[in-house]
């Protein structure tokens, strides 16, 4: 996936899942503090939007 953070947030916003994505992002940031931010956003997108 080559989306930017802005693309991910916009996609979540269009589907009315932006807050759900951001809440999940907060959870996985605590579990994976060493991961790149874009990777965390992509993980959250996969979990929230594509499931």
pLDDT digits (tens, 9 = 90+) for 29-44: 999 999 999 999 999 9
Sorted by where each begins, the domain ranges of the chain are 5-48
**Confidence band of 2 (pLDDT split at 50, 70, 90):** low
Asked if residue 6 has pLDDT above 60, the reply is: yes
> In three state form, how does the secondary structure of the chain look?
CCCCHHHHHHHHHHCCCHHHHHHHHHHHHHHCCCCCHHHHHHHHHHHHCCC
The whole-number pLDDT of residue 46 equals 95
pLDDT above 50 (res 1): no
Q: What's 39's DSSP letter?
A: H
Please say whether the dihedral angle defined by the alpha carbons of residues 22, 48, 2 and 40, taken in this order, is positive or negative. Answer: positive
């Amino acid at each position: 996936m080559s989306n930017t953070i802005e693309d991910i947030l916009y996609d979540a916003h269009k589907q009315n899942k932006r807050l759900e994505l951001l809440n999940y992002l907060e959870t996985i940031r605590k579990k994976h503090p060493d991961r790149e931010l874009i990777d965390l956003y992509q993980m959250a997108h996969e979990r929230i939007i594509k499931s």
